[in-house]
Amino acid sequence: MDTPALIRNWCIRLPCYIDAAFRGGYAVAVADFNKDDKPDVIANSLSVQDVASYENLGMK
């Protein structure tokens, strides 16, 4: 299964809470940013003037 399908299926079945304290998120991207064959997440927020990144440490 390709990574986009894996993410799509995983998020449909489970709530996708990554960081409950991250408020005002409006742009999210999922990709293998660090080239470890696991999908990672980056996001922008209206309340933080930076990009948040979340490295996937477990799910492949």
Residue type at 25 in one-letter notation? G
What pLDDT band is residue 46 in, cutting at 50, 70 and 90?
Answer: confident
Q: What are the residues whose beta carbons fall under 8 Å from the beta carbon of 45, sequence distance 6 or more?
A: 22, 23, 24, 25, 26, 52
Does the predicted model carry a pTM greater than 0.75?
no
- Res 16: pLDDT: 63
Average pLDDT rounded to a whole number, residues 49-58: 84
User: Which residue has better confidence, 23 or 42?
Assistant: 42
User: Which residue has better confidence, 38 or 23?
Assistant: 38
Query: What are phi and psi for residue 47, nearest 5 degrees?
Result: -100, -10
Question: Using one digit for the tens of pLDDT, what is the confidence trace for 8-25?
Answer: 555 555 556 677 777 777
CA nearest neighbour of 9 among 30, 37, 35, 34: 30
